[in-house]
Amino acid sequence: MTSRAKRRSDQLFEQLETISLRAHDADTTDILVVHGQDVLNVPDSTHLPRMKKFRFQLLHQWLIHNFDPCRAADIGGGKGLLAHLLMESGWQATVIDPVPQGLPDKYKDLVLGRRVKIDPAARVPNLPSTFETYHAQYFDLLIGMHAHGSNVKIIDAAAEFGCGFVIFPCCVIDEAFYPPLGVSWLESLADYAVRQGIVLKPFRLNFKGQNIGLYALPRSI
């Protein structure tokens, strides 16, 4: 990342933190504590050197360090690697994607530092559908690494059913609204969530590209 791009990213992150503080000031009660940390004190991993890939593995590591095992929906989860890794960690995970796909043959285990083969018979629960808000009633956490067209729905579902979410908004595709001129998509979504009474927090993972996520903890698990 160039120094100019890094500066823009840092400025955006600061703006998102300001938005998140508005939510915290408005609602300081009933914030779920996970692993002894509240929504404003879960650390990110920006101190680590950036990796070009392994996004699902990095998000998996972040999730298991910052959330207790729960019922998670991987929205737009594609081949289901993230769901598979979460299931290996004791979570209940379901892929919600309109195009069912099989798991990859192997993946890079960042802890072991080597490739790991996936059993050809391995499967993850899969709901072959676009995400709808009512799906959230069956989950504690909604995850959207590539949830094109579903980011607003995820926030709406979290507000209605009290579940948490983790999203990495990137492209604005088939969403319920679009950001105003001069306002980033991330800022628009964060502001939208706060106006619905959701206490959220931005965080970053160490991969290149759009590596800023937004998360909100579930009210109860």
What averages of pLDDT result for each successive group of 10 residues across the chain (221 residues)? 72 82 56 39 50 84 96 97 98 96 94 92 96 98 93 97 94 88 91 94 86 89 47
pLDDT in tens, 15-25: 788 888 876 65
Q: What is the pLDDT of residue 102?
A: 93
Helical (H) or strand (E) element with 201: strand 201-204
Token code pair at residue 207: 């991969």
Q: What is the pLDDT of residue 16?
A: 81
Asked if residue 165 belongs to a domain, the reply is: yes
Asked if residue 221 belongs to a domain, the reply is: no
Token code pair at residue 134: 């009512």
Asked if residue 100 belongs to a domain, the reply is: yes
Q: Which amino acid is at 64?
A: I
Asked if residue 160 belongs to a domain, the reply is: yes
Q: How many CB atoms lie within 10 A of CB 123?
A: 11
Residue whose pair of structure tokens reads 């964060």 in the numeric block: 190
Q: What is the pLDDT of residue 8?
A: 77
Q: What is the pLDDT of residue 140?
A: 98
DSSP SS3 for 192: helix
- Strand 164-167 with 212-216, pairing: antiparallel
- Say how far apart CA 197 and CA 111 lie, in whole Å: 37
Asked if residue 197 belongs to a domain, the reply is: yes
CA 199-203-204 angle, to 5 degrees, is 165
CATH of the domain at 186: 3.40.50.150
Strands in 70-176 per DSSP E = 71-75, 92-96, 106-109, 114-117, 126-127, 141-144, 164-167
Q: What is the pLDDT of residue 37?
A: 42
Asked if residue 42 belongs to a domain, the reply is: yes
Helical (H) or strand (E) element with 23: helix 3-26
Q: What is the pLDDT of residue 115?
A: 94
Count of domains forming the chain: 1
Q: What is the pLDDT of residue 34?
A: 38
CA 59-55-98 angle, to 5 degrees, is 90
Token code pair at residue 75: 């929205």
Asked if residue 126 belongs to a domain, the reply is: yes
Token code pair at residue 89: 């960690």
Write out the residue range of the structural domain in which residue 125 sits.
3-216
